[in-house]
Amino acid sequence: VKVKGDYRYELGELADTLNYMAQEIVRSNQIKDDFISSISHELRTPLTGIKGWSETLTLGGFDPEETKIGMQIIAKETDRLIGLVEEMLDFSKLQQNEMKMVITKVNLKEILQETMLNVWAKAEQKQIQLKLEDLSEGQVLVAGDGNRLKQVFLNLVDNAIKFSPESSWILLTISVKEHMGVVEVSDNGIGISTEHLRRVKDRFFQVNHQGGGTGLGLAITQQLVELHNGEMEMSSELGEGTTVMVSIPLLDEAEMEELITKQIE
Ligand code: ADP
């Protein structure tokens, strides 16, 4: 029998730790390999479209309408590539603590309205109803980077659209609780099992590759929320839907003064 203090016990502990570390290294290498293979696929698909259409159009002889369709596909696929590359760059900046933020006084309500406008067309394509419910009174002011906060909500609504069936709904609510601006994004889409829910915020993790993407979206979103001293919580039920709650501390009077003076300087 090994007892604490006995060198055999200590050696046993050491062996367990080393074993655990070795398993973690193998696991993290496996995750990176999977990521490289899925990102290569993600990059290749739009590239194939762009190459195909540019070669076809170079042959000439198409009427203006056909040419327009080809050009539109090229533009759309290029946007998709830019989006993927930007996501990877953001992730790498966050990893290296190099994400630059321009902090100003931001009204979360305005950010949500802008987000809705940005995703409207995408939701429409799947006949998804987008609703914004305002449970707060007046403005919901926080100190933040408006563009980055918009990125947070765009990511969440984008996921909600991606993982919801046609003709479903997505609800955004905004409220104020305990000196926090609270935004919830709820969908009644495919949901996430309890087992997977623990891991979806991990970098590279995807339940499956069904929605495409890089598996970086939620990891980036979570880190951006944390850079605003906020919190992000997810709840979900398989087959029922998902809710993501983001809370950001409200701006207090003193901070507001400080920000205003900074902007004047
Ligand atoms: P991706 O960019 O690949 O979507 P994310 O980090 O945004 O990566 O999401 C990781 C995974 O979490 C997704 O691939 C999906 O399996 C799951 N997920 C995220 N949001 C939702 C949602 N609203 N409903 C169901 N599953 C979701």
Q: How confident is the model over 251-262, as pLDDT tens digits? A: 987 776 676 666
Element (H, E) at 40: helix 7-59
pLDDT of residue 1: 56
Select from 38, 163, 184 the residue to mutate for testing ligand 1; criterion: most ligand atoms less than 8 Å from CB: 163
pLDDT of residue 190: 96
Q: Is 34 helix (H, G, I), strand (E, B) or coil?
A: helix
Q: What does R_g of the chain's alpha carbons equal in angstroms?
A: 23
pLDDT of residue 2: 62
Q: Is 206 in the pocket of ligand 1 (CB under 6 A)?
A: yes
Query: For the residues of 48-88, what is the DSSP string, one character each?
Result: HHHHHHHHHHHH----HHHHHHHHHHHHHHHHHHHHHHHHH
The model's pLDDT over 173-212, given as tens digits with 9 standing for 90+, comes to 999 999 999 999 999 999 999 999 998 888 888 888 777 7
The model's pLDDT over 66-97, given as tens digits with 9 standing for 90+, comes to 999 999 999 999 999 999 999 999 999 999 99
pLDDT of residue 91: 92
* CB-based contact 112:246 (threshold 8 Å): no
* Average pLDDT value for residue range 52-70: 92
DSSP annotation of 252: P
pLDDT of residue 137: 86
* Average pLDDT value for residue range 17-43: 87
Query: Is pLDDT of 265 > 60?
Result: no
Half-sphere exposure of 223 (CA within 13 A, CB side): 19
What is the C-alpha separation between 174 and 248, in angstroms, rounded? 11
Residues 132-152 as b/e (b if ≥16 CB within 10 A, e otherwise) read eeeebeeebbbbbbbebbbbb
The model's pLDDT over 150-179, given as tens digits with 9 standing for 90+, comes to 999 999 999 999 999 999 999 999 999 999
* CB-based contact 167:132 (threshold 8 Å): no
Query: Is the reported ipTM for this assembly greater than 0.90?
Result: yes
As a whole number, the mean pLDDT across the chain is 91
Q: Is 211 in the pocket of ligand 1 (CB under 6 A)?
A: yes
What is the C-alpha separation between 231 and 223, in angstroms, rounded? 9
Q: Which residues pair with 212 in a beta bridge?
A: none
Pairing state of beta strands 104-107 and 141-144? antiparallel
Query: Is pLDDT of 224 > 70?
Result: yes
| Ligand 1 atom with minimal separation from the 160 CA | 23
pLDDT of residue 41: 86
Q: Is 214 in the pocket of ligand 1 (CB under 6 A)?
A: yes
What is the C-alpha separation between 44 and 265, in angstroms, rounded? 47
Distance (angstroms) between ligand 1 centre and the Cα of 259 equals: 35
Q: Is 241 in the pocket of ligand 1 (CB under 6 A)?
A: no
Distance (angstroms) between ligand 1 centre and the Cα of 217 equals: 8
What is the C-alpha separation between 44 and 37, in angstroms, rounded? 11
- How far apart are the two ends of the chain, measured CA to CA in Å? 71
Length of the chain: 265
What is the C-alpha separation between 170 and 192, in angstroms, rounded? 16
